[in-house]
Structure 1
């Protein structure tokens, strides 16, 4: 029975196997499963039994029906499916595969999946009682490509921050290696597809070339992404570049253009540029030349550049273009320019020239001359002036000066005086300018130098004098001719009388001359010597004359007067350099004299010598030119540095070419100490005691006199009650004048004075000088004045002096003290009615011992 059962079981299994084999031969439906190599793959297999209470016994996995051997199995026999035994072919999956039965459907999980794992898998499920179930699954293994690589057009590996220039072409290459199936390579710009055309090269390389014909500003800081993708099961592989675009300047502008500029003034010109990246470089150009070293550049922000040019326009800049150029140095052809057409205003540029038809070295007296003035100015000049030797010329047809308008000057019939420096001046709103001078030289026949035609020359007999005939001429004279005339007839001078010398070459820049040595032998040799000169223009019309007269040394000076001046007066005389710290040094001595006969020759200078009684030699000499500080009447000396209280002797001389005159002596001259009348100066005790004694004595005498006069008047009125008022007034005046007189000196002094005065009166006007008329009026004081001696006649004394209160002269501190006499400032003797002859010498005595020569403009009375 058991054998029967076994046989029937085997038969049943055989039948079932036949049935199953018949099912295998039938085509099974295939499901597709895709997975990515390197990742986890899940192959599904439905192991659910077809009927209830059926159980799974075995699960087998086959791949491509390889040798009919399973590559993976699950044995559930005698166990729960969760504790089933698992087996994996070590040559196929090894430990990479595991059967997951706790999910529906069950899955064969492969981790990680390899590219060789792809194929058709069959899952066979054996049940305990039910027929076997077979399922086919096609596993497609997707191999992902490698990460894309981006290259530039020159096959250089692109940088993450890849620079490009605005306006340039851009070429990028995205290359992807591997991938199964081959990947799709796509360029994205701002998440939008930019280019999805790709090609395969060498079976395993996929590329996509991106070409941009012109890079715009929109590409700055943008991301270009290259994506490679061959499945939806994973994220695409990407690479990206960020575009760093060098931008051109957008704008450039000169912000402070002016309508016009003034030449030689400094302007700050500003130029601003924006839009460049990196910042623009600003340069300045004037015309085609770059202006360097005068501009300062500032970067206000990364996108704005500012430049300030310190610009000084010149005249040559007028009409040129001042250009501000902004350029990105890394971007070719990126320069932008702003041009400013310059209008430069400038003061006139003036030049003068002689008429084109004239020759500068061939203009003679009588010719017509014209000048042309060229003026270049912006704006146009509105005034044109002409100058000769710095003085403006005006239209004067009478003088031959014609201004025809425009820019010309015409001189008709020019003369020697027309020669000089000519210039023109033009003015516009920018200023005025003068041209350089043009020298006009007029050729003329010789004339006497400085216009003088006659010179008086003094000479002694048998004395050789040198006569220089100086003439002015253009061109220089070629010959000179000399003649002599002493009786109205022109005659040649004997050769024994003179020696003709070779004509001098150019003596100065303005005149030429010839020298004649002439020696008068007798009275007939005194007369007129004439000189003529000749040049190529002609002969001198008016000769140069020399009047030869008998000459000698000058006569002594006359009417010399000395007076003291304090410091302030001396300063007004122009001697500030003599200010001293010692107050006594501020005292000056002013000496005035009248000229005597000049000896037949012009006086050249005057001399004053100062002697001190303590020293036989003179201590100072003062020289005074004839034309320096001397009036028409004679010289005025200023003597500084004399000490008060010391006696001095002054010697005065007149000097001509023949020598010095005899001296005029003033002595003794003493400066009185100023401290007696002013405060602030120290004086000696002896002087103070003497002054106090004199003051007390004078006060006592005055009091006694007043008392006597009062008693006398009282007695007189009692004895003469009927006397008229006029007589009383006269008598009172007489007594008052007597009382005002100072005490008389000793009798010996008065007698000496009378003798000296008689001698002076006898010598003042000799009989052999009819030109001098002595003055005998009481009001006019003689040339010799001795005020230190008291007059014996009260009436003369009253007339000689007036009250000092009427004086408009310096204070008593300015009074000159000479011996015992007082000489008040400006107390000069008046001139006689008839002045001395300037030709004949004066026979007045020029020196008297202890005399002071004075001349008075008005008689002064004293009320001391």
Structure 2
């Protein structure tokens, strides 16, 4: 309502909009200024807020409300000017219109508990904002607003907005125990107002088994299975002991706290505890593949004496055979953790002679997979093959040989191999004797055959035509001496191609100069000579599993 006073030209609330609003910002300083123009003497001004006088003065008055609270929103502001001479007043008014901060957001639930395999869906709602607020979401310090959506609702009675933001997010176990935060902000509050909740993510455990190393003589040997999951109440299942290649050796029952105490065993058999130990546990929560029981494994190493493998058939031979004049290879297979530091061979049951590499003896070692028994289970082990080669065997060489290995664990380990004379060797002292004797008897046989032919020709007195070759013998028809490194005479029928006979059978002095006698090759001192029988070469090796000489061509030497 305006009162016309002649002495006052105009009364105005500065910054008033055309719709009678004085704009301000919630929580900021708010200034009201009233000014009168004209009038003598100058008019006396009074500013009222919510019907209370807040400022007075002549001609122009300013009033500041510090950090104006939101309840001043829509409050009435009046400015009254009075002329003291005429006792009349002039009034102008407006109302306060604030940009309002959003009110504190509220989650749709009191706690956030979910499984790792589930998707998190949670919402935050904020009311009372002007203009409408916007939401931001954070997982700890990571902004995840991208995974949210927002809806807006206008409240006509209060001229404010209600905003609801929904977050859909895939959590992982690392989010367990982290804060999830929603923040609502607008131009009245650029920083925004927030609310947070702790997230509890339930997940299946990770299983860790500590790698352990024990000494052969240790009595107490404990392996720990450590589970890390949420919740932390675990059920532990049977332990499994496997070889390094994954073959199951045994199953054992551990304690409820996830520890396994290895049973006491004979010190000499403690090496059998080497291998992989598998622990299985669960907390009732499935993993992403739907599996409740989770597994982990660790390695157990037993530092023990080297072990020879005599308890599996054909792994190590305690008796081997050889022949006079030949070479023989004595081999043993061993498993050693840690690896042996020294290898020593001895000759004699009482180790009378330490063997030194020479032309007589040569030593070698090879890494190899060897067979072993771990708790009655035959498994493959990373081991070694150690070989002693004895050349040019004599009678004195047929004795006991002892190998001694030392890896600095307790005392050295020993294994004895007895070398015996092969049963097929007879009493031959020189390997060349059979060949020489065979050659002599072969020559006598040719002379006898030639004499028989001459007598027959003289008696018949007829033409003798060339007789075709007899059917050649197959390779399998050729027989050899077992465990002898030489070939025998070729077993064939006599040939007549080179026999010179006249058609009328009257030449009684036919010579035998052209008779082809086929000689066989002989192997001397272990050197392979090509045989005229088939042009092939005979090769011989030690069969590591049987300790005997074997022809790699496939024929065992057989005495005819």
Normalising by structure 1, report the TM-score: 0.39
Contact 1:280 1:305 in 2 (8 A): yes
Write the deviation string for residues 825-856 of structure 1: whole angstroms up to 9, x where unpaired: xxxxxxxxxxxxxx99698xxxxxxxxxxxxx
Distance 1:349 1:494 in 2: 55
Residue 518 (str. 1) matches residue 390 (str. 2):
yes
Shift of 1:174: 0.2
Q: Give the structure 2 partner of residue 499 of structure 1.
A: 361
Distance 1:449 1:162 in 2: 104
Residue 254 (str. 1) matches residue 107 (str. 2):
yes
Distance 1:352 1:177 in 2: 90
Distance 1:182 1:275 in 2: 44
Shift of 1:454: 0.6
Choose which of 401, 404, 408 in structure 1 pairs with 2:259.
408
For these two proteins, the number of residue pairs brought into alignment is: 405
Write the deviation string for residues 194-227 of structure 1: whole angstroms up to 9, x where unpaired: 5496432xxxxx2344454664545546664546
Q: Give the structure 2 partner of residue 277 of structure 1.
A: 130
Residue 340 (str. 1) matches residue 203 (str. 2):
no
Write the deviation string for residues 300-345 of structure 1: whole angstroms up to 9, x where unpaired: 24613333334444545444443333334533786242x3233332
Write the deviation string for residues 57-82 of structure 1: whole angstroms up to 9, x where unpaired: xxxxxxxxxxxxxxxxxxxxxxxxxx
Q: Give the structure 2 partner of residue 305 of structure 1.
A: 163
User: Which of the two has greater helix per residue?
Assistant: 1
What pairs up with 1:476-491 in 2 under 5 angstroms? 476-482=339-345
The 1:342/1:459 distance shift into structure 2, 3 A limit, reads: same
Distance 2:9 2:191 in 1: 41
The 1:497/1:301 distance shift into structure 2, 3 A limit, reads: same
What pairs up with 1:346-361 in 2 under 5 angstroms? 346-353=203-210, 361=213
Shift of 1:164: 1.7
Gaps of 5+ in 2: 155-160, 286-291, 370-380, 426-475, 485-538, 542-549
Q: Give the structure 2 partner of residue 660 of structure 1.
A: 553
The 1:292/1:446 distance shift into structure 2, 3 A limit, reads: same
Distance 1:417 1:314 in 2: 41
Residue 326 (str. 1) matches residue 177 (str. 2):
no
What pairs up with 1:526-537 in 2 under 5 angstroms? 530-536=402-408, 537=410
Q: Secondary structure at the match of 1:538?
A: coil
Q: Secondary structure at the match of 2:233?
A: coil
Shift of 1:363: 0.9
Write the deviation string for residues 508-566 of structure 1: whole angstroms up to 9, x where unpaired: 893345432222446775677553433323233543567775999xxxxxxxxxxxxxx
Q: Secondary structure at the match of 2:413?
A: coil
Aligned-residue Cα RMSD (Å) equals 4.9
Q: Give the structure 2 partner of residue 177 of structure 1.
A: 37
Distance 1:370 1:598 in 2: 60
The 1:428/1:518 distance shift into structure 2, 3 A limit, reads: same
Shift of 1:167: 3.9
The 1:330/1:290 distance shift into structure 2, 3 A limit, reads: farther
Distance 2:122 2:480 in 1: 79
Distance 1:374 1:494 in 2: 51
Residue 434 (str. 1) matches residue 331 (str. 2):
no
What pairs up with 1:753-832 in 2 under 5 angstroms? none
Distance 2:333 2:153 in 1: 83
User: Which of the two has greater strand per residue?
Assistant: 2
Q: Secondary structure at the match of 1:374?
A: strand
Distance 1:439 1:406 in 2: 19
The 1:327/1:551 distance shift into structure 2, 3 A limit, reads: farther
Q: Give the structure 1 partner of residue 277 of structure 2.
A: 422
Contact 1:449 1:511 in 2 (8 A): no
What pairs up with 1:740-751 in 2 under 5 angstroms? none
Q: Give the structure 2 partner of residue 454 of structure 1.
A: 317
The 1:181/1:463 distance shift into structure 2, 3 A limit, reads: same
Shift of 1:173: 1.6
What pairs up with 1:626-775 in 2 under 5 angstroms? 658-661=551-554
Distance 2:115 2:137 in 1: 19
Residue 165 (str. 1) matches residue 22 (str. 2):
no
The 1:146/1:393 distance shift into structure 2, 3 A limit, reads: farther
Contact 1:384 1:425 in 2 (8 A): yes
Q: Give the structure 2 partner of residue 370 of structure 1.
A: 222
Q: Give the structure 2 partner of residue 30 of structure 1.
A: none
The 1:216/1:522 distance shift into structure 2, 3 A limit, reads: closer
Q: Give the structure 1 partner of residue 453 of structure 2.
A: none
Distance 1:181 1:230 in 2: 7
Distance 1:598 1:448 in 2: 33
Write the deviation string for residues 270-318 of structure 1: whole angstroms up to 9, x where unpaired: 222222222334333456x354465434242461333333444454544
Contact 1:295 1:307 in 2 (8 A): no
Q: Give the structure 2 partner of residue 847 of structure 1.
A: none
Write the deviation string for residues 111-130 of structure 1: whole angstroms up to 9, x where unpaired: xxxxxxxxxxxxxxxxxxxx
Q: Secondary structure at the match of 1:416?
A: helix
Shift of 1:263: 3.3
Contact 1:445 1:538 in 2 (8 A): no
Larger radius of gyration: 1
Shift of 1:176: 0.4
Q: Secondary structure at the match of 1:344?
A: strand
Distance 1:197 1:506 in 2: 103
Write the deviation string for residues 649-682 of structure 1: whole angstroms up to 9, x where unpaired: xxxxx998523247xxxxxxxxxxxxxxxxxxxx
What pairs up with 1:585-624 in 2 under 5 angstroms? none
Write the deviation string for residues 369-415 of structure 1: whole angstroms up to 9, x where unpaired: 112333343323341132322659655xxxxxx74543321113351
The 1:211/1:281 distance shift into structure 2, 3 A limit, reads: same
Residue 150 (str. 1) matches residue 7 (str. 2):
no
